[in-house]
Amino acid sequence: MSAAEQTDVLVIGSGFGGAIAAYHLAAGGAKVEVLERGPWLEGKDFDQDYLLGSSYTKVFDFVAGDGMSLLGGNCVGGGSVVYFAALPRAPRFVFERHGGIGRRMWPAMIDRDALDPWYDRVAEAIPARTQDWNDVSYPGGLWAAACAHAGHTANPVPVGIDTATCTNCNWMMAGCRFDAKRSLLFNYLPAAIAHGTRIRPLHEVQYLSRTDDGGYRVHYNVIDDEDYRVTVGGGVIDAKLVIVAAGAGATPVILQRSEPHLGSMPHAVGRYFSGNGERLNTAVFDEDRVRDVLGLTGPGGRPYGAFQVGKGPTVACWDYLDGSRPEYSRFSLEQLYFPPGLGTILAQAPGADAPTFFGVEKKKMLDQWRNWLIIFQMTEDDNEGVFGPPPPTGNAVRISQQMLGRGPLRYNPTPNTLRGWAEADAACKDILERDGLAKVAPWTNDLVGAYTVHPLASCRIGDDPATSALDDRHELRGHPGIFVTDGSAVPGALTVNPAMTIAALAERAMPGIVEAARRRGIEVSYGAPAPDGSTAGRRGVRDLLPGLVRG
């Protein structure tokens, strides 16, 4: 192994938490290196197919655990490249949740009012906008009409999408070929690069150790760009400060593997994992009832038949996000397009007596695939996930050359979580089965357990050292100079898509991280504006908080 390289700040991961940290620290004058385990792709590289070896399998990380499976990003830009760009803010009641610990999970300093200015900062950078009804896809309109028929409201979802550029191809989850989705590739990351940040794709961090001068040594493997099971090199980088932002399914694994080298980790590292309470239902619509009950008509006499047309989530029902409702009874119901593949297997034939992976009932359902509508439910769970001993390398034992792995997460849903899922299932069924509009069934948990595309809370912030790995400044307890800024820092389920909250928390953490960096001998200041597009990071800094700006 060659001699260690040197940098001021080493950022692990390039999703929301990593990109925001890299930008602000580099803009403030620090030397920043970013290690990203996935490839670096851009619009022209995103394929619109499901072939092995295409961008579709390269940019996802699907990890099957015991009782829970995780789907996350695996590329420069992380989850921002492979999400549906839904950017709602968390409801006010979320910050007062008690969850399974019986007392407030969030730090006392953070509530919705305290986080709103940081939400605003993110909205300037991405930018986030609320769609109007002219932007809503046909499936979104169908969901809105069904909600109205059942006496519920429906709302267009705020998104980070240039709707003028969007072609409604519905391949957004696999990376936007038309650059309509305003992922981190168009704001924080290019702004960080403009200030000297170096991003290294296909660099998978294994563990951290200490250096003699009180800093940290980051040990990484370089992985093959076609077969992620193959290591083609490795090295170490010494840094005065480390930002861990590898995602809630990888950050705790890196820290657990670092324990023999750094000393004891906080009890909460790898515990209290939340799948954001997520669950999926599939409705199969009756064309005649759509026309007769809802009055919707379409070309060729087919009022719906549009499962694959449009874009990800465009409409949500937020009627159940009422803070006066009991905990575990609050959830959102969001229309979603989930691409064929694993989703086709997990979608169950309504009315079947047992899980229907195949057979006559499933074949009939598949024949009607154009009339499907998937409803994405985000509920309140009990943070019951626990990570076991880490695998030999990476965050999972890879099963295939790309995408698939077996990870150390154990998840056994509590009665509270099960009740939340059941109430959301019942609400979905009540709305969509009225007057024979559709037949609805939840996806099965029998094959891969529960599943989440928004893993959270495996190294969460909090005031209680017994139940939180990080303090309210996102610093790892007992390990000064290590900070965590990704979804693993979020204390628990949010009942809405979490990207905006993850990003806002990362923005909020930055002034304190800059202050800590200065105490560790890094010449850095805070005050860079939120980047808008790819050029704002070149325009210098302005005063934001006294005492942290460049003199």
DSSP secondary structure of 365-416: HHHTGGGEEEEEEE------BEE-SPPSSSSSEESSSSSEEEEEEE----HH
Q: Among 393, 455, 18, which Cα is nearest to 242's? A: 18
User: Is the C-alpha dihedral spanning 100, 101, 105, 108 positive or negative?
Assistant: positive
| Contact in structure between 347 and 443 (CB atoms under 8 Å) | yes
510/32 Cα distance (integer angstroms): 14
pLDDT in tens, 211-259: 999 999 999 999 999 999 999 999 999 999 999 999 999 999 999 999 9
Place of tokens 């829970």: 68
168/189 Cα distance (integer angstroms): 26
User: Is the C-alpha dihedral spanning 456, 461, 463, 469 positive or negative?
Assistant: positive
223/397 Cα distance (integer angstroms): 14
The token duo for 39 is: 């490839």
The token duo for 227 is: 């077969």
pLDDT in tens, 60-104: 999 999 999 999 999 999 999 999 999 999 999 999 999 989 899
Domain count for the chain:
1
The reported pLDDT for the residue numbered 543 is 33
Please give the angle made by the CA atoms of 330, 335 and 337, to the nearest 5 degrees: 135
277/414 Cα distance (integer angstroms): 11
492/13 Cα distance (integer angstroms): 21
Output the pTM of the full model.
Answer: 0.95
Cis peptide bond N-terminal to 139, omega within 30:
no
pLDDT in tens, 456-503: 999 999 999 999 999 999 999 999 999 999 999 999 999 999 999 999
When the pLDDT of each residue in the chain is averaged and rounded to a whole number, the result is 92
Residue 551 confidence class, pLDDT cut points 50, 70, 90: very low
The reported pLDDT for the residue numbered 204 is 98
Q: Look at residue 539 and tell me whether its pLDDT is greater than 70.
A: no
Helix segments in 219-328, DSSP class H: 251-262, 287-294
Q: Look at residue 164 and tell me whether its pLDDT is greater than 50.
A: yes
The reported pLDDT for the residue numbered 2 is 56
CATH number at residue 300: 3.50.50.60
| Contact in structure between 494 and 487 (CB atoms under 8 Å) | no
38/57 Cα distance (integer angstroms): 11
437/303 Cα distance (integer angstroms): 12
H or E element: which one contains 162?
Answer: none
Q: What percent of the chain has pLDDT over 90?
A: 77
The reported pLDDT for the residue numbered 535 is 38
Phi, psi of 122 (to 5 degrees): -65, -40
The token duo for 32 is: 């920043």
Residue 351 confidence class, pLDDT cut points 50, 70, 90: confident
DSSP count for the chain of H helices, then E strands: 12, 21
291/336 Cα distance (integer angstroms): 21
> Residue 246 belongs to what domain range?
5-548
